């Protein structure tokens, strides 16, 4: 790849112009690209969300975005909306991600931009995909197109944090979320597995805590709505087998329209979960059960291997249940003893490379969350903290260095503490307001 000849937005003086427009105008057009890119959330993974606008004399002529996985890239959608003819030599094309230079499921966008004769291109951030990373920008500038790079760069990268994890770390990205009480518990230790008889929810007679399926509800309504938004943007939701059996979670998106429900994944190394038709049918989404063939005894392993796991459950009729018997020791793990910490990374690589999952949400329980944290395989943390509630005893919330957390916007009565992995910089940074105490 040759030297890329482009203007670095960060190095431009605040009052300078580029192609006749101010820095503020460039930021405004790029933020429109970011809004358009959002339209692909939950639909394009493991591809990035990308938005593009074409501007002439400061006026937006056309818009495009990457709408679904395997579909047209943002730039192609934009030009398709304009039809065949047109002289764009006096136009600026804004794209939140560097135009691609490779033949993937679609031909290179950089070539299309050259064919269309666009005079100038403004890029949010360079593509971390090794097949692109700078080649798209180089191709354009080598052909005489003016290129400006780095407009709202941090925002453009942050929009696709999981894509950076996929491309640079070679695994599915992980979002961890839990709700905790003011005294640092995520639930009680003693839990019943029977549902309350009169209604789904009831008030615990002793301390007025709302209980559902024997589980104390910690976070409130606003946080609940927010969680469904979070779920809507991931490819799968993963829980451990104890959470699956005890909490009986639905693991689906409610109250928001989604093109498809996230896949449900249960990490159940010894195949101890309840996969009866009733439990599998709690959602329309597929249910994947990951187990370790090395940990099953002879009969169980025979069942899993020969009967393809599906016939272990009546639910096979629905076709939703899929079992994945990973032979984790053979995959290079020192596991074989059920030690999850050794296998987390292998599972995440497999979920990305073999299954094409861009991002999963890990919802619990505490030991599963801790296993992911311990091997540094969590890329976003969201803690919903009800500081008014105190349990005194129970299941401790996962252990982590709280100094990295920043306080985000409160969700109703709940505090929202966040951390995001920043890849590519020298430091780990987080967003939000106040530092954790
Ligand atoms: C762009 N504009 O809107 C997107 C880009 O398999 P494909 O053909 O869909 O290519 C996927 C790769 O293309 C993806 O990994 C990323 O590098 C880039 N995505 N590029 O110019 C877009 N979505
Ligand atoms: Zn492209």
What interhelical angle do 74-82 and 109-116 show, nearest 10? 30
Tell me, rounded to whole angstroms, the distance of Cα 337 from its chain centroid.
30
pTM of the model: 0.86
- Helix (H) or strand (E) holding 72, with range, is none
Interatomic CA distance for residues 136 and 161, integer angstroms? 20
Q: Is 75 a catalytic residue?
A: yes
Whether 398 is in the pocket of ligand 1, judged by its Cβ within 6 Å, is no
Quick one: pLDDT at residue 209?
Answer: 62
**What phi-psi label fits residue 344: left (phi over 0), alpha (psi between -120 and 50 degrees) or beta?**
alpha
Residue in 34, 36, 39, 48 to alter for ligand 1 test, most ligand atoms within 8 A of Cβ: 48
More confident residue, 103 or 49: 49
Read off the pLDDT of residues 79-93 as tens digits, 9 standing for 90 and up: 999 988 789 999 999
Query: Which CATH architecture group holds 3-159?
Result: 3-Layer(aba) Sandwich (3.40)
| Residue 127 to residue 108: CA distance in whole angstroms | 13
Q: What is the mean pLDDT of residues 374-400?
A: 95
Higher-confidence residue of 202 and 403: namely: 403
The pLDDT assigned to 83 comes to 87
Residue ID of nearest Cα to ligand 1 atom 20: 100
Q: Domain extents for the chain?
A: 3-159, 167-436
Model confidence pLDDT, tens digit, residues 236-264: 999 999 999 998 999 999 999 898 899 99
On the question of a common fold for 3-159 and 167-436, the answer reads no
> Between these two residues, 313 and 186, which has the higher pLDDT value?
186
Distance CA 53, CA 48 (A): 17
CATH number of 167-436: 3.40.430.10
Work out the mean pLDDT of the chain and round it to a whole number: 84
Which tops the pLDDT comparison, 345 or 291?
A: 345
Nearest-5° Cα angle at 84, 78 to 87: 85
Q: Whose CA is nearest to atom 21 of ligand 1?
A: 99
Tokens of 250: 């639905």
CA of 129 to the centre of ligand 2 (A): 11
More confident position, 10 or 195: 10
Residue 100 CA: nearest ligand 1 atom is 21
Among the bound ligands, name the one nearest to the CA of residue 137.
1
Q: What CA–CA distance (Å, rounded) separates 131 from 344? A: 27
> Is residue 161 scored above 70 in pLDDT?
yes
Of residues 276 and 233, the one with the higher pLDDT is: 233
Q: What percentage of the chain exceeds 70 in pLDDT?
A: 79
Give the β-pairing of 120-125 and 91-97.
parallel
Does residue 99 line the site of ligand 1, with CB under 6 A?
A: yes
Q: In whole angstroms, what is the distance from residue 353 CA to residue 332 CA?
A: 16
């Amino acid at each position: 790849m040759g030297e890329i000849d482009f203007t670095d937005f960060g190095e431009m003086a605040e009052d300078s112009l580029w192609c006749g427009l101010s820095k503020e105008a460039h930021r405004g057009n790029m933020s429109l690209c970011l809004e358009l890119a959002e339209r692909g959330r939950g639909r394009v993974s493991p591809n990035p969300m990308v938005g593009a606008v074409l501007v002439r004399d400061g006026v937006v002529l056309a818009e495009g975005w990457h709408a679904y996985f395997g579909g047209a890239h943002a730039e192609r959608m934009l030009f398709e909306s304009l039809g065949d003819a047109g002289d764009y030599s006096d136009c600026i094309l804004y794209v939140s991600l560097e135009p691609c230079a490779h033949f993937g499921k679609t031909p290179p966008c950089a070539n299309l931009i050259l064919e269309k004769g666009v005079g100038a291109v403004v890029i949010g951030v360079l593509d971390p995909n090794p097949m692109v990373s700078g080649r798209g920008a180089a191709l354009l500038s080598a052909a005489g197109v003016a290129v400006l790079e780095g407009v709202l760069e941090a925002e453009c990268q942050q929009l696709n944090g999981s894509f950076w994890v996929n491309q640079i770390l070679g695994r599915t990205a992980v979002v961890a979320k839990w709700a905790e009480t003011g005294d640092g518990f995520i639930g009680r230790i003693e839990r019943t597995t029977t549902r309350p008889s009169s209604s789904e929810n009831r008030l615990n007679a002793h301390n007025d805590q709302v209980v559902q399926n024997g589980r104390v509800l910690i976070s409130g309504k606003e946080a609940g709505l927010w969680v469904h938004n979070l779920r809507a943007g991931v490819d799968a939701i993963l829980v451990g087998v104890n959470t699956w059996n005890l909490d009986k979670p639905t693991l689906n998106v409610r109250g928001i329209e989604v093109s498809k429900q996230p896949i449900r994944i249960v990490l159940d190394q010894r195949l101890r979960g309840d996969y009866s038709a009733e439990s599998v049918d709690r959602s329309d989404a597929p249910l994947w059960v990951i187990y370790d063939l090395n940990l099953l005894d002879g009969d169980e392993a025979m069942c899993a291997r020969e009967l393809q796991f599906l016939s272990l459950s009546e639910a096979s009729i629905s076709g939703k249940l899929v079992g994945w018997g990973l032979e984790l020791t053979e995959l290079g793990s020192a596991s074989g003893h059920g030690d999850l910490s050794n296998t987390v990374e292998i599972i995440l690589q497999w979920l990305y490379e073999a299954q094409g999952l861009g991002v999963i949400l890990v919802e619990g329980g505490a030991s599963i969350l801790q296993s992911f944290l311990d091997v540094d395989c969590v890329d976003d943390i969201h803690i919903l903290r009800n500081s008014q509630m105190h349990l005194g005893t129970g299941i401790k919330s996962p252990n982590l260095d709280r100094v990295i957390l920043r306080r985000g916007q409160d969700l109703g009565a709940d505090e929202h503490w966040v951390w995001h992995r920043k890849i590519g910089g020298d430091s780990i940074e987080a967003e939000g307001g106040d530092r954790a105490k």
